[in-house]
């Protein structure tokens, strides 16, 4: 029996999955990673930590499966928009500046001083966001010129792991879409954008592959450690959201998914490049298969908001190994929809869609003496669902029908959160047989790249199936509609105050932490 290994380099950790040719998960593994926050609004990770976590996750998955000799291909997915820099010896230059980082706001303004939004859309199909490579590279050039001068190649998380697996430097089209340096329509690097921004064209990997293309063979020393065959083909893979789209079968136009992981993503498939003319913070990308494109709306703190609540209130319970999320679910389930007017804005490290604002911060609005821990737990879950609905409503406003949403990520595991999402979205919430969509997507891409299937849609049709449907309850839909309107009104009211408070923080908190003297 042929099997395929999918590896997902997520923000909270690396997941590995062994998938057989019938769609059964035969083994899984996980290695945890941490986020480094050296200054407010900054977010980094260590590439060396990724590799250690990857090694641990793959060894666990292969050992659990007992099928290492049957693995015929390896595919990857990974967190998007992170800037990983390596020197000529392929050694990391500092930490990766990950997607959550907000430091390059001034560089975004600098880029808008060089070209207007219409030209950006024409060249890249995207507006500029501070999570993209382009402003991060400008920040490096301005603030760390010595390190900038050492950069041989810029890479994404999964590309760095693949480099260590194969020795080959390559990028692929879905990740490269969110750099402001690629022409999404033609699926090629845009030399014009590099020249316009004064960035060296050679900093991007020369090989820009489609997701199921083979990037290189697995190195013998890595294969020996993992119990796999040397030379096993490693495909280019995809960013975690396109890979998750593959892993949940979102491979045809009109299909929409909602993933609540560390971030929250609304993701859809299109037959043509998507363009968000009104700048709602929607991303336009090449999908993980030739001839298809995709779009996504991004909530920066989704599952990350619930994790923040867990760690802030129940760190000792977490450290004891208890199921804190299950406990939080149990407490929140006792509360009526709407949490008696307690509304949470999940902007813990800025926001993206539909409010691209690095200064936005979290808010608990409507707090009263009647509110306690159960209401806070539920309001965080509801606030994340409201933020996800913001993204869905952008899609609806652009004429994209949303009657069914395919759920994935940690938010799909909680029955309560599935119920809240269905009621807030006013749409059926569908779960699939693959709980880990990005890792499954990586394995499916490997199966296509290894020649087991002729195309990604063919592989998805063979391997994926619907396992559950949560339909909205009309009364809850009406309740949430009222509270959602309050939620929508809060950001416009607070936008100026967010900016003012950010200036206060920059004024009174010196770089590196601690009070200013």
Residue 258 tokens, joined: 């909602």
* CA-derived radius of gyration, the chain: 22
Question: Considering only CA atoms, which of 2, 7, 68 is closest in space to residue 440?
Answer: 7
- Cα–Cα dist 66/69, whole Å: 8
Task: Give the CA dihedral 434, 321, 345, 400, nearest 10 degrees.
Answer: 0
**Strand boundaries in 336-492, DSSP class E:** 343-345, 363-365, 404-409, 428-432, 466-470
Q: Are 390 and 240 in contact (CB under 8 A)?
A: no
Residue 171 tokens, joined: 């990028």
Catalytic positions are 240
| Three-state secondary-structure class, residue 394 | helix
Tokens 């902007």 correspond to what residue? 347
Tokens 């998955």 correspond to what residue? 61
Helix axes 415-425, 474-508, angle to 10 degrees: 100
Instruction: Write the DSSP assignment of 4-51 as a string of letters.
Output: EEEEEE-SSEEEEEEEETTS-EEEEEEEE---B-SSTT--EE-HHHHH
Tokens 């590196």 correspond to what residue? 512
């Amino acid at each position: 029996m042929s099997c395929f290994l999918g590896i997902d380099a997520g923000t909270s950790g690396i997941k590995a999955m062994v998938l057989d040719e019938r769609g059964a998960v035969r083994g899984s593994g996980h290695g945890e990673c941490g986020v480094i926050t050296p200054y407010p609004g900054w977010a980094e990770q260590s590439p060396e930590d990724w590799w250690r976590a990857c090694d641990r996750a793959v060894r666990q998955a292969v050992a659990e499966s007992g099928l290492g000799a049957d693995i015929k291909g390896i595919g990857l997915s990974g967190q998007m928009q992170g800037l990983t820099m390596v020197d000529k010896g392929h050694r990391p230059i500092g930490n990766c500046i990950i997607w959550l980082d907000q430091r390059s706001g001034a560089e975004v303004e600098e880029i808008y001083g060089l070209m207007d939004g219409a030209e950006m859309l024409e060249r890249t199909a995207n507006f500029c966001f501070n999570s993209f490579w382009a402003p991060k590279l400008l920040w490096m050039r301005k603030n760390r010129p010595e390190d900038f001068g050492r950069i041989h190649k810029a890479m994404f998380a999964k590309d760095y792991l693949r480099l260590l697996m194969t020795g080959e430097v390559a990028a692929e089209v879905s990740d490269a879409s969110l750099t402001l340096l690629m022409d999404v329509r033609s699926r090629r690097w845009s030399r014009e954008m590099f020249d316009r921004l004064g960035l060296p064209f050679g900093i991007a990997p020369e090989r820009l592959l489609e997701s199921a293309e083979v990037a290189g063979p697995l190195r013998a020393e890595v294969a020996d450690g993992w119990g796999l065959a040397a030379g096993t083909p490693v495909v280019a893979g995809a960013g975690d959201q396109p890979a998750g789209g593959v892993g949940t079968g979102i491979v045809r136009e009109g299909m929409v998914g909602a993933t609540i992981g560390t971030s929250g993503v609304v993701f859809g498939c299109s037959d043509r490049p998507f363009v968000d003319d009104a700048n709602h913070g929607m991303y336009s990308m090449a999908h993980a298969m030739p001839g298809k494109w995709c779009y996504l709306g991004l909530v920066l703190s989704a599952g990350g908001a619930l994790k923040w609540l867990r760690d802030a209130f129940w760190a000792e319970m977490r450290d004891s190994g208890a199921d804190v999320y299950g406990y939080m679910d149990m407490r929140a389930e006792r509360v009526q929809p709407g949490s008696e007017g307690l509304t949470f804005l999940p902007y813990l490290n800025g926001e993206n869609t539909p409010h691209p604002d690095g200064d936005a911060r979290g808010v608990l609005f409507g707090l009263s003496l009647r509110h306690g821990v159960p209401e806070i737990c539920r309001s965080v879950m509801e606030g994340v669902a409201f933020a996800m609905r913001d993204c869905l409503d952008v899609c609806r406003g652009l004429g994209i029908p949303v009657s069914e949403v395919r759920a994935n990520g940690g938010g799909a595991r909680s029955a309560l959160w599935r119920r809240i999402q269905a009621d807030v979205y006013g749409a059926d919430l569908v779960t699939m047989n693959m709980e880990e969509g990005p890792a499954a997507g990586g394995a499916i891409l490997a199966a296509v790249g290894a020649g087991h299937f002729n195309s990604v849609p063919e592989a998805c049709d063979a391997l994926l199936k619907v396992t559950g449907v949560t339909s909205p309850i009309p009364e809850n839909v009406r309740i949430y509609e009222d509270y959602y309107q309050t939620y929508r009104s809060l950001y416009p009211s607070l936008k100026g105050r967010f900016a003012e408070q950010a200036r206060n923080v920059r004024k009174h908190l010196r770089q590196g932490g601690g009070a200013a003297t």
